[in-house]
């Protein structure tokens, strides 16, 4: 789970929530979840939709199911973009969401290299030399923050938190031509 979350660039708890809510369903062997490339891509799209739309877990699960079916059909060939369509039961027109699948896959490939750094260790067991590594990291951080005041740190933290609280941007893009065929 830690390696998959590192590859996705999200905290392990968020990925665990997606698994528990049934948005993604990794295979499980010997109490360990196994994520393949398609499953990681589905999770990446789910996080993208959650971040950009604030979609519920039910909607995310349906989107990842549809994406999984499409990925099986295409057998690993990637699209430039995909369009998710959702039609209400009584509605006439569908809602379309355009997802940049190729750029999400490229991001995932770049982050996949980070996964080897995160080891899935049993709970309570620390890595050899973790204290020295932590001390070294803290020393490096303190050296790089030598010329930074406490007010600047506080301001940076406030900006980061306010940025995370912002709602997703929703825009209307009008089609200039009618669809043909």
The answer as to whether 110 is a domain residue is yes
**72-81, 88-97, 155-164 — most confident range:** 155-164
Going by pLDDT thresholds of 50, 70 and 90, the confidence category of residue 79 is low
| Pairwise CA distance, residues 35 & 7, whole Å | 10
Residue bearing the bigger pLDDT, 1 or 45: 45
Going by pLDDT thresholds of 50, 70 and 90, the confidence category of residue 170 is low
The continuous run of DSSP H or E covering 86 comes out as: strand 82-86
Domain count, the chain: 1
Q: What is the pLDDT of residue 68?
A: 84
The answer as to whether 139 is a domain residue is no
The answer as to whether 72 is a domain residue is yes
What's 117's DSSP letter? G
Going by pLDDT thresholds of 50, 70 and 90, the confidence category of residue 113 is confident
Q: What is the pLDDT of residue 120?
A: 59
Per cent of the chain over pLDDT 90 is: 1
The answer as to whether 89 is a domain residue is yes
The answer as to whether 142 is a domain residue is no
Domain around 45: 2-120
The answer as to whether 133 is a domain residue is no
The answer as to whether 42 is a domain residue is yes
Looking at residue 44, which CATH number applies to its domain? 1.10.1660
Per cent of the chain over pLDDT 70 is: 81
| Nearest to 33, CA basis, from 76, 78, 71, 2 | 2
Q: For the chain, what is the mean pLDDT?
A: 80
Q: What is the pLDDT of residue 155?
A: 92
The answer as to whether 164 is a domain residue is no
Tokens standing for 111? 């982050």
| Pairwise CA distance, residues 59 & 50, whole Å | 9
| Pairwise CA distance, residues 122 & 125, whole Å | 6
**Contact 79/102 with Cβ under 8 angstroms?**
yes
Q: What is the pLDDT of residue 180?
A: 60
């Amino acid at each position: 789970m830690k390696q998959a979350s590192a590859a996705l660039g999200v905290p392990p708890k968020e990925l665990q929530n997606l698994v528990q809510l049934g948005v993604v369903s990794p295979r499980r062997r010997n109490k360990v979840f196994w994520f393949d490339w398609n499953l990681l891509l589905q999770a990446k799209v789910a996080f993208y939709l959650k971040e950009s739309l604030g979609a519920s877990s039910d909607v995310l699960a349906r989107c990842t199911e549809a994406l999984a079916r499409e990925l099986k059909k295409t057998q690993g060939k990637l699209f430039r973009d995909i369009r998710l369509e959702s039609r209400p039961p009584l509605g006439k027109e569908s809602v379309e969401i355009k997802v940049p699948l190729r750029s999400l896959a490229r991001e995932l490939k770049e982050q996949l290299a980070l996964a080897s750094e995160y080891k899935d260790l049993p709970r309570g067991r620390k890595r050899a030399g973790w204290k020295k590594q932590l001390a070294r990291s803290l020393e490096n951080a303190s050296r790089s923050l030598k010329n930074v005041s406490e007010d600047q740190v506080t301001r940076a933290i406030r900006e980061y938190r306010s940025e995370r609280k912002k709602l997703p941007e929703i825009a209307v893009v009008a089609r200039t031509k009618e669809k043909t065929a």
